[in-house]
Chains A and B, each alone.
Chain A
Amino acid sequence: MRFLKLFVVFVFMSISLSAFASQPEVKKAKTVDELAAMYDVSSCKQCHAKIFEEWEKSIHSRSLIGSPRTVGGIQGAIKNWISFKHSGVKEAKDITVDHWKTACFKCHLPQIEDATDEVAAQIAEAYVKNDRATLAKVNINCLVCHNKMAVTHQWRDGKPERDTVYGTKDGTHMDKMYKNLKKSSTMTASVMCGQCHQGPLIDRPATTQCSTLFGSYLNAYLPNGGNKTCQECHMKEVDGHAMFSFRDRNYSDPAMVKRALDVEVDAKKGYKSIELPNLPPAAKVIVKITNNAGHRIPDG
């Protein structure tokens, strides 16, 4: 009888756990190359050539290298962690998946949670050595946005399914591994981008504030009468997808800058004071800069 009770409890626990973790655990990547292979998107190119080409040129495709400030910023974070008494990091190789997840890689490489601590240490050492070839192997790619990060309301909608690409419609997907196409309820909502382009990470042991953009969108753009989503300004209908800002950085795209900023320069004609004739003639230059974007400029 006692055995039967234990057996019932065990069966109940097993059912509960399997219900919570709806999918089998994936074997974690042990090297950077394995992680890159796990998130290999080369097959996407066959059908989505245009968007793939744009993505390849984009900052998302080099998310560990990023802008001219990114590598230095992350190297600075590593130095900080080494200097912090309670971080558990004495040298770069001590950096674990948990360290990365708590700060930089929450956004720069969310798939780090599918890797072992050995991979976390390899990447940390690549930063210390400025080994950009290694840093370029993994990135924010098709699978990060269309699978891993595609479902925001996971207690309601469940975790992303491994054989599925999430987009704006349901159907089948012409790929050996990702056979299904499912509609993500937030794929076209600003919150999709806000997962990474968000505000401070106050709740973390390595308190930080890298990106601030989504806070500006919520608390300044919308209250001032803005009504567009991130996707409406940054993406447009080409090849069913193409992202305007995928070309390169937005600041280097004249068309994007023109849409975001209006600058007027009004130089008034000089005048001489009648009452104070000894003063030199004076003139006034008025510069008006209007930000039409959905967030502060500069921001990220």
Chain B
Amino acid sequence: MTAKTKDGKEVLKSEKIYMLHAGDSRNEGDQMVYGPANKLGFLEDNTFQPLQTKVESYDLKFPEGVKELDVNVELRFQYDKEVGTIGKDSYILYKTSKKVSTR
């Protein structure tokens, strides 16, 4: 999610990764591991759960003199930490743009 002024200045940028964070369930403890050959237990599961709604809230502060901000929200599926090529390494599941103004 990003919020920018009309001239492109970024006021807020927030990224969140939703995934199963797996460990290997051995005595090493809480170290996250990648790959099916290593992972076993879950250290954290912040994925979207079936038939549940997840709510994210973002507070925007308008810079002095700025009356309007462009807000872009994008939900992506990606295989790796890098976005890579859209349509190959990652897919845009949802995207929207909104203008937010002060009263």
Contacts and interface: CB of A to CB of B under 8 A. Distances in A.
A265 B72 CA distance: 10
A67 B79 contact: yes
A69 B80 contact: yes
Interface of B: 1, 3, 18-20, 22, 25, 35-41, 45, 47-64, 69, 71, 73, 75, 77, 79-80, 87-89, 91, 93-94, 96, 98-103
Interface of A: 67-69, 72-74, 76-77, 80, 103-104, 200, 202, 206-210, 212, 216-217, 220-221, 224-226, 249, 251-252, 257, 261, 263, 265, 267-272, 280-299
15 contacts: A73-B37, A76-B35, A208-B40, A257-B94, A265-B96, A265-B98, A270-B101, A281-B62, A287-B55, A287-B73, A288-B54, A291-B53, A296-B49, A298-B47, A298-B77
Contacts of A103: 37
B60 A296 contact: no
A267 B98 contact: yes
Nearest to A271: B103
Contacts of B91: 249, 251-252, 257
B48 to A, nearest CB: 4
A194 to B, nearest CB: 15
Contacts of A293: 50
B57 A286 contact: yes
Given A220-B49, A284-B58, A263 B94 contact: yes
A130 B90 CA distance: 22
Contacts of A280: 61-64
Contact of B60 (A284, A287, A294): A284
A290 B52 contact: yes
Contact of A295 (B38, B50, B89, B99): B50
B47 A296 contact: yes
A210 B35 CA distance: 8
Contacts of A272: 102-103
Contact of B50 (A67, A74, A226, A249): A226
B50 A251 contact: no
Contact of A299 (B1, B47, B61, B80): B47
A294 B1 CA distance: 27
Nearest to A270: B102
A291 B54 CA distance: 8
B70 to A, nearest CB: 10
Contact of B93 (A200, A207, A261): A261
B48 A261 contact: yes
Top-5 shortest CB links A-B: A210-B36, A77-B37, A270-B102, A221-B50, A291-B48
A268 B102 CA distance: 9
B3 A289 contact: no
Contact of B103 (A206, A210, A261, A270): A270
Contacts of A291: 48-54
A109 to B, nearest CB: 15
Nearest to A263: B94
Contacts of B53: 288-291
Given A282-B60, A282-B61, A261 B50 contact: no
A209 B102 contact: no
